């Protein structure tokens, strides 16, 4: 009745290869851990394990705990399964006899119900502590307040108490553990959902239209930290990049002072300024001191203080600016910036003018 | 049918949740308090139709066809009255108060919730009419009693939903 | 005897013109034919969804790759997700349920054969409608073609303002149609199981496959309906100018998220529970032991169904819910792990002390067990909401749910194909090709989805058509793409096996696996009427009783 077939030849490779599969996974996790240990100085890899800010630190600690517990469960169950697969493989010799028919056991069932429940309780308590620590953190008086507004496909940052408006590149002061100056962000959206995510500084929080969310950063190291929009928001979701500069308190003060100045006025670039004021530019863009005060696009008052344009899609230099104004699709296809169709001389004048906006 | 009712209940639940979620969140008028009038008479019509359909079912079981048909007809008329009532209310809202489905959140949620219910009443009425026609043709007897019961279960469900819709829209929602 | 029956049938079939045969298939109300139609339809879309996945992976092979434009990429991942969930996984599982449930409970057909046919054609129509968007999505506005709003179609991205043209309408109406189809089938399955079981088959003797499909159907009723309601609201918004999800008029974007995930999370269990069912039928047969803890398995399934109704917002940990809501959804989500763990242990208990035969169906089921274990554990990580604030919306999540859907659902499905193919066609699938398929697919799977976790940990969000170089994602993405190709090749081996074995496969006979449930008592393929005389059962394993009259199961129950 039974199809008699030799099994020995076939099960060993099965086990070995499965073990290999798992080894790859473990190696992967180790690789990730290794990557965070040997991170280059410039923070170019935004690993969640390479945290530089209080909320990201507590998440990292929690994640190591959860990884440890789940890793342990994995090892135990994996060994049991592998053991069962090897130990109870059918052998050719006694293939005709059926094994003992066992229907179940209440004690064993009870054991493997209660133990997981205990594990879940432990994991939950550890999690609840971190939820509370991050979400219900009090806001100190020294905190910097920023309003972040998500647009398709760029970030608007407003510092209401400092009177600063900028885009895509957020500057915040480093926070001293003794006298912490964390940054509290109010998150809003002008159109669709977005999500604010700098893996090394904090977990993500969504920006949702008609709703205000909050998050906070408390960095303890200076430097540039990268992230990007983490909630699908339309065609150019991929190039809605985000850069956060954590400055020393002095640098931050300097930066704020620079941003508070009105736009540079150089008489020799008045031609470019006229192009800005007489074309559709001013419908969407604002430059402090001109009659342009649109808010659909980034504020350009201190455009040249930013290292990138088009929300991090390209380096901020004359060549890219020119290309961006002429044909935005070349840099970011599907962005909402229209091609301006300017003549070459207008374009040159405009780019020269923009370059003065330090 | 019980399964269908479970699924339908889930659909209604979502609409009711949406209605409650948006109560008082409209950015512009008119508001429920200004325009809604409690349709007591039509509610009584619909609820009493539940009773008549129940009696009709029992009568059919006992083989009293003529009385069954009479009660069935009464159910049908009561249901149609209710539908007329809804139509009248919508007419008043649209022409007197200018409230349409795209006016504000109240309009959107009100018309879709009440409309979904009215749609179910309409389906029920069509089914009731079919049974009535079969009955007049003389082909509904005690042996169809179970099928008729299934339909009457649906009708009870539609009534029960109205109780909830009524509570939500006319009592809580104002 | 059975082979004679097949010979007669095929001879008859060959004698008639193909138009007549086609007509027969199109108008059929037979549960086996409808089941096959479901399965074939789903396989067709599996290939299409697979092609879409390949396009996605080629685009992501290198940073700043320009294989496709961002618009096309966004359409691809939207269509890939929608297709795989609604037009591959759902119909294929309904197909198996349709085919197997009546056979396993000793019934002649489903309770409502016509409703069954109607449901299938609704689902089929939905799929065609979705793909017609490539042609008709332009509409009057000339904007876009296939939907590009993601398979969640989050508000307000799917509203008129942000999604002009008709692409999102096709998406909505296609899902509405297939949703009604699913509700119809679910009602049908429940009615069949409740009222058409053969004499002696009490609920506690029903095969686990029937049990789990009943639970799944109950969940469909409670999960698809909210989606249907939400789709109606979206249509009201898009066509009648309603404001349900219009954030400009006070509407709420989060309301759609809630409604979608009230559907979306139970949906995962709707898909995985029938796969639990496959594993629960296949593992005992190839371990030569009855399932360990049958009542506990049933209880755990029902428990999963209930708990999974209250976990939806774990997809929304990042939307800024308060700390109490986050804690609540953390504990409920972790709690799902308990009954799921019980199931894994029960399968382990079934194998323990058995004599495991490593036939292809069993290999796939063992793969399923290991991978489902990993998927469950990454699920626990995601349930821990602060950890989720980092992982949500990243490639870690993508890897996690593909581990569930490919590593769990698809592996179990492949197992089911190898296990029931002989019953359905009367011929065995080729064992060597099957093993090749298994190993290739296993390697490809682990190469793709093990590695895919890591870019997520390194900050790579999902749904991006390209990424910046130098963030540590490049090599990993390249290897992930290589793995995707290996899986593609393995799938071709599988398709080849399906076709070749249909013509050249070994004759199967009634009961090639020496199994225990009723479907193996009839010929392969089963006759139109299923059972010549209504079977009568006295235990959970009627064929065991028949084969071992000296030691029947009925003695222990």
A149 vs A154: CA distance, rounded Å: 9
Contact A200, A18 (CB under 8 A): no
Contact B7 C221 (CB under 8 A): yes
Q: Which residue of C has its CA nearest to A56?
A: C390
Structure token digits, residue B99:
């409230």
A162 vs A180: CA distance, rounded Å: 18
Structure token digits, residue C29:
């109300």
Write down the pLDDT at residue A32: 57
Q: Which residue of B has its CA nearest to C242?
A: B102
Over range C420-443, report the average pLDDT: 94
A241 vs A233: CA distance, rounded Å: 12
B158 vs A23: CA distance, rounded Å: 58
Over range B133-161, report the average pLDDT: 84
Beta carbons within 8 Å of C516's beta carbon, 6+ residues apart: C284, C285, C290, C541, C542, C543, C544
Q: Does B136 touch chain C (CB under 8 A)?
A: no
- pLDDT digit string, tens, across residues C337-350: 999 999 999 999 99
Beta strand pairing call for A183-189 and A241-247? unpaired
Contact C387 A89 (CB under 8 A): no
Structure token digits, residue A229:
């929009």
Q: Does A77 touch chain C (CB under 8 A)?
A: yes
Contacts of C380 in chain A (CB under 8 A): 66, 70, 123
Write down the pLDDT at residue B126: 93
Structure token digits, residue B122:
């309409």
Q: Which chains touch B (3 or more CB pairs under 8 A)?
A: C
Write down the pLDDT at residue A93: 66
Structure token digits, residue C131:
């793909």
Q: What b/e readout covers C57-66, taking b as 16+ CB neighbours within 10 angstroms?
A: bebbbbeeee
Token pair 């863009």 in the structure block, residue? A285
Q: Which residue of C has its CA nearest to B8?
A: C225
Q: Does A81 touch chain C (CB under 8 A)?
A: yes
DSSP structural state of residue C505: P
Contact C407, C371 (CB under 8 A): yes
CA dihedral B46, B50, B52, B58 (to 10 degrees): 170
Q: Give which of C254, B171, C84, C440 is closest to A193, Cα–Cα.
A: C254
C1 vs C532: CA distance, rounded Å: 13
Burial of A348 (0-12, 13-18, 19+ CB in 10 A): middle
Contact C444, C306 (CB under 8 A): no
Contacts of A202 in chain C (CB under 8 A): 389
Contact C149, C158 (CB under 8 A): yes
Q: Which residues pair with A286 in a beta bridge?
A: A293
Contact C193, C101 (CB under 8 A): yes
C434 vs C417: CA distance, rounded Å: 10
DSSP structural state of residue A296: S
C181 vs C95: CA distance, rounded Å: 12
Does the pLDDT at position C451 exceed 90?
yes
Question: What number of C-beta contacts closer than 8 Å exist between B and C?
Answer: 83
Q: Does A109 touch chain C (CB under 8 A)?
A: yes
DSSP structural state of residue C151: T
Highest averaged pLDDT of the listed ranges B99-108, B139-148, C246-255, C353-362? C353-362
Structure token digits, residue C448:
């793709």
Structure token digits, residue C76:
């691809």
Give the pTM: 0.90
Beta carbons within 8 Å of C19's beta carbon, 6+ residues apart: none
Token pair 């870019």 in the structure block, residue? C455
pLDDT beneath 50, residues of chain A: 1-11, 13, 36-40
Q: Does B112 touch chain C (CB under 8 A)?
A: yes
Contacts of B4 in chain C (CB under 8 A): 183, 187
Give strand ranges (E) for C15-150. Answer: none
Write down the pLDDT at residue A114: 92
For chain C, first and last CA: distance in Å? 33
How far is C-alpha A292 from the chain's CA centre?
A: 32
For residue A161, the tally of other CB atoms under 10 A from its CB is 8
Beta strand pairing call for A213-217 and A223-228? unpaired
Q: How confident is the model at residue C5 (pLDDT cuts 50, 70, 90)?
A: very low
Contacts of C250 in chain B (CB under 8 A): 22, 25-27, 104-105
Contacts of C110 in chain B (CB under 8 A): none
Q: Tell which C residues from 520 to 539 touch A, by Cβ distance under 8 Å.
A: none
Give the DSSP letter string of C535-548.
---SSS-HHHHHH-
Q: Which residue of C has its CA nearest to A233?
A: C157
A162 vs A146: CA distance, rounded Å: 9
Question: What number of C-beta contacts closer than 8 Å exist between A and C?
Answer: 324
C492 vs C45: CA distance, rounded Å: 14
Contact C246, B18 (CB under 8 A): no
A2 vs C10: CA distance, rounded Å: 28
Sheet holding A169-173, edge to edge: A169-173, A241-247, A223-228
Q: Pick from B7, B12, B18: which is nearest to C244 by CB?
A: B18
Query: How far off is chain C from B74, nearest CA to CA, in Å?
Result: 31
The CA-based angle C245-C251-C252, given to 5 degrees, is 75
Q: What b/e readout covers C253-292, taking b as 16+ CB neighbours within 10 angstroms?
A: bbbbbbbbbbbbbbbbbbbbbbbbbbbbbbbbbbbbbbbb
Q: Which residue of C has its CA nearest to A127?
A: C384
Q: Which chains touch A (3 or more CB pairs under 8 A)?
A: C
Contact C390 A203 (CB under 8 A): yes
Contact A313, A239 (CB under 8 A): yes
Structure token digits, residue C151:
């398979």
C227 vs B152: CA distance, rounded Å: 27
DSSP structural state of residue A263: P
Write down the pLDDT at residue B167: 86
Query: How far off is chain C from B28, nearest CA to CA, in Å?
Result: 9
C371 vs C404: CA distance, rounded Å: 8
Interface test with C, best of A48, A214, A336 (most C CBs within 10 A): A48
Q: Which residues pair with A293 in a beta bridge?
A: A286
Q: Mean pLDDT across chain B, nearest whole number?
A: 84
Q: What's the residue count for chain B?
A: 174
Beta strand pairing call for A194-198 and A144-151? unpaired
Q: Does B8 touch chain C (CB under 8 A)?
A: yes
Structure token digits, residue B94:
């649209």
Does the pLDDT at position B100 exceed 90?
no
Q: Which residue of C has its CA nearest to B12?
A: C229
B162 vs B155: CA distance, rounded Å: 11
Beta carbons within 8 Å of A224's beta carbon, 6+ residues apart: A42, A43, A243, A244, A245, A246
Interface test with B, best of C220, C251, C255, C262 (most B CBs within 10 A): C251
Contact A78, C370 (CB under 8 A): yes
Over range C267-280, report the average pLDDT: 94
Q: Pick from B8, B101, B104: which is nearest to C249 by CB?
A: B104
Contact A179, A142 (CB under 8 A): yes
Does the pLDDT at position C369 exceed 90?
yes
CA dihedral A307, A309, A314, A319 (to 10 degrees): -90
Query: How far off is chain C from B13, nearest CA to CA, in Å?
Result: 8
Q: Pick from B4, B6, B15: which is nearest to C229 by CB?
A: B15
Contact C373 A228 (CB under 8 A): no
Write down the pLDDT at residue A53: 94
CA C91 vs CA A296, C37, C44, C280, C539: distances in Å: 45, 9, 11, 20, 31
SS3 C510: coil
- pLDDT digit string, tens, across residues B42-99: 888 888 888 899 988 888 888 888 888 888 899 999 999 999 999 988 898 888 888 8
Give strand ranges (E) for C152-201. Answer: none
- pLDDT digit string, tens, across residues C281-311: 999 999 999 999 999 999 999 999 999 988 9
B77 vs C44: CA distance, rounded Å: 51
In angstroms and rounded to an integer, the radius of gyration of the C-alpha atoms of chain C is 23
Q: How confident is the model at residue C34 (pLDDT cuts 50, 70, 90)?
A: very high
Contact A73, C345 (CB under 8 A): no
Q: Spell out the alpha helix ranges (H) of chain B.
A: 2-22, 32-35, 40-61, 65-96, 105-136, 145-166
Contact C460, C467 (CB under 8 A): yes
Contact A76, A224 (CB under 8 A): no
Interface test with B, best of C250, C254, C262 (most B CBs within 10 A): C250
Looking at per-residue pLDDT, the higher value among A6 and C547 belongs to: C547
- pLDDT digit string, tens, across residues C412-427: 999 999 999 999 999 9
Q: How confident is the model at residue C156 (pLDDT cuts 50, 70, 90)?
A: confident
Q: Pick from A89, A208, A241: which is nearest to C254 by CB?
A: A208
- pLDDT digit string, tens, across residues C479-502: 999 999 999 999 999 999 999 999
B156 vs B150: CA distance, rounded Å: 10
H or E segment and range at residue A166: strand A164-167
Q: Pick from A70, A238, A241: which is nearest to C380 by CB?
A: A70
């Amino acid at each position: 009745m039974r199809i008699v077939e030799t099994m020995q030849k076939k099960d060993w490779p099965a086990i070995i290869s499965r073990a290999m599969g798992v080894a790859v996974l473990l190696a992967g996790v180790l690789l990730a851990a290794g990557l965070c240990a040997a991170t280059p100085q410039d923070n170019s890899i935004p690993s969640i394990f390479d945290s530089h800010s209080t909320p990201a630190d507590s998440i990292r600690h929690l994640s190591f705990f959860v990884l440890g517990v789940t890793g342990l469960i994995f090892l135990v169950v994996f060994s049991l399964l592998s053991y069962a697969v090897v130990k109870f493989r059918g052998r050719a010799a006694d293939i005709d006899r059926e094994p003992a028919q066992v229907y179940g056991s209440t004690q064993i069932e009870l054991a493997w119900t209660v133990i997981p429940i205990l594990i879940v309780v432990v994991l939950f308590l550890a999690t609840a502590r971190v939820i509370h620590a991050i979400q219900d953190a009090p806001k100190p008086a020294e905190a910097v307040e920023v309003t972040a507004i998500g647009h398709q496909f760029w970030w608007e940052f407003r510092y209401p108490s400092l009177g600063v408006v900028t885009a895509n590149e957020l500057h915040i002061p480093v926070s001293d553990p003794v006298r912490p100056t964390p940054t509290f962000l109010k998150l809003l959206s002008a159109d669709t959902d977005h999500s604010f995510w700098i893996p090394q500084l904090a977990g993500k929080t969504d920006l949702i239209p008609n709703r205000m969310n909050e998050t906070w950063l408390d960095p303890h190291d200076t430097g540039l930290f990268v992230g990007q929009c983490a909630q699908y928001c339309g065609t150019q979701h991929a190039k809605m990049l985000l850069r956060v500069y954590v400055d020393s308190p002095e640098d931050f003060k300097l930066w704020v002072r620079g941003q508070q100045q009105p736009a540079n006025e150089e008489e020799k670039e008045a031609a470019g300024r006229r192009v800005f004021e007489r074309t559709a530019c001013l419908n969407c863009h604002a430059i402090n001191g001109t009659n342009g005060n649109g808010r659909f696009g980034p504020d350009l008052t201190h455009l040249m203080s930013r290292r990138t344009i088009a929300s991090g899609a390209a380096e901020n230099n004359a060549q890219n600016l020119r290309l961006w104004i002429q044909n935005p699709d070349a840099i970011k296809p599907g962005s909402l910036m229209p091609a301006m169709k300017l003549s070459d001389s207008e374009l040159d004048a405009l780019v020269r003018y923009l370059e003065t906006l330090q | 049918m019980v399964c269908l009712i479970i699924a339908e209940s889930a659909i209604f639940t979502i609409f009711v949740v949406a209605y409650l979620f948006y109560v008082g969140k409209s950015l512009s008028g008119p508001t429920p308090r200004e325009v809604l009038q409690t349709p007591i008479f039509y509610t009584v019509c619909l609820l009493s139709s539940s009773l008549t359909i129940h009696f009709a079912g029992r009568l059919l079981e006992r083989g009293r066809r003529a009385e069954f048909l009479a009660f069935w007809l009464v159910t049908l008329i009561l249901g149609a009255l209710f539908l007329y009532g809804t139509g009248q209310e919508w007419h008043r809202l649209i022409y007197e108060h200018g409230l349409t489905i795209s006016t504000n959140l109240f309009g959107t949620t009100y018309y879709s919730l009440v409309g979904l219910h009215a749609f179910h009443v309409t389906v029920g009425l069509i089914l009731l009419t079919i049974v009535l026609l079969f009955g007049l043709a003389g082909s509904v007897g005690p042996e169809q009693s179970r099928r008729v019961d299934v339909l009457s279960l649906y009708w009870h469900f539609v009534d029960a939903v109205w109780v909830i819709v009524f509570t939500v829209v006319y009592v809580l929602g104002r | 005897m059975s082979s004679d029956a097949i010979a007669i049938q095929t001879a008859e079939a060959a004698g008639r013109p193909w138009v007549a045969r086609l007509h027969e298939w199109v108008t059929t109300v037979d549960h086996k034919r409808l089941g096959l139609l479901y399965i074939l339809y789903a396989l067709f879309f599996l290939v299409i969804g697979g092609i879409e996945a390949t396009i996605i992976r080629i685009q992501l092979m290198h940073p700043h790759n320009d294989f496709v434009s961002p618009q096309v990429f966004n359409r691809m991942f939207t269509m890939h997700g929608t297709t795989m969930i609604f037009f591959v996984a759902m119909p294929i599982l309904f197909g198996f349920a349709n085919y197997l449930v009546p056979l396993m409970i000793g019934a002649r057909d489903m309770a409502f054969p016509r409703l069954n046919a109607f449901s299938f054609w609704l689902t089929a129509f939905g799929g065609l409608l979705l793909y017609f968007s490539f042609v008709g999505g332009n509409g009057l506005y000339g904007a876009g073609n296939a939907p590009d709003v993601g398979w969640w179609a989050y508000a307000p991205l799917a509203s008129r303002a942000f999604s002009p043209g008709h692409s999102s309408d096709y998406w909505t109406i296609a899902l509405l149609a297939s949703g009604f189809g699913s509700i119809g089938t679910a009602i049908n399955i429940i009615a069949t199981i409740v009222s058409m079981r053969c004499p002696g088959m009490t609920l506690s003797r029903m095969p686990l496959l029937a049990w789990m499909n009943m639970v799944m159907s109950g969940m469909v009723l409670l999960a698809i309906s909210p989606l249907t309601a939400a789709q109606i609201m979206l249509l009201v918004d898009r066509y009648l100018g309603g404001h349900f999800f219009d954030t400009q008029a006070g509407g709420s974007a989060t309301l759609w998220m809630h409604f979608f995930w009230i559907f979306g999370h139970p949906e995962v269990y709707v898909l995985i529970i029938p796969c639990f069912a496959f594993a629960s039928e296949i593992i005992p047969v190839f371990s030569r032991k009855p399932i360990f803890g049958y009542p506990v398995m049933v209880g755990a399934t029902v428990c999963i169904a209930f708990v999974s109704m209250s976990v939806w917002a774990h997809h929304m940990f990042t939307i800024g819910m308060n700390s109490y809501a986050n804690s609540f959804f953390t504990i409920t989500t972790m709690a799902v792990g308990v009954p799921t763990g019980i199931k894994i242990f029960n399968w382990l208990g079934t194998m323990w002390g058995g004599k495991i035969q490593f036939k292809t169906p069993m290999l796939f089921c063992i793969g399923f067990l290991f991978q489902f274990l990993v998927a469950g554990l990454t699920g626990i990580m995601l349930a821990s909401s602060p950890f989720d604030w980092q992982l949500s919306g990243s490639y870690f999540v993508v890897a996690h749910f593909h581990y569930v859907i490919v590593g769990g659902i698809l592996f179990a499905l492949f197992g089911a194909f190898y296990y029931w193919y002989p019953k359905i066609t009367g011929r065995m699938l080729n064992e060597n090709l099957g093993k090749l398929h298994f190993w290739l697919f296993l390697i490809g799977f682990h190469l793709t989805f093990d590695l895919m976790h890591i870019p997520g940990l390194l900050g790579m969000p999902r749904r991006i058509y390209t990424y910046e170089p130098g963030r540590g994602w490049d090599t990993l993405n390249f290897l992930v793409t290589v793995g995707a190709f290996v899986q593609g090749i393995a799938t071709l081996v599988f398709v080849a096996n399906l076709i070749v074995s249909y013509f050249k496969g070994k004759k199967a006979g009634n009961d090639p696996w020496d199994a225990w449930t009723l479907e193996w008592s009839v010929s392969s393929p089963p006759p139109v009427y299923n059972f010549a005389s209504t079977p009568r059962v006295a235990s959970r394993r009627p064929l065991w009783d028949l084969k071992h009259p000296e030691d029947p199961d009925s003695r222990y129950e």
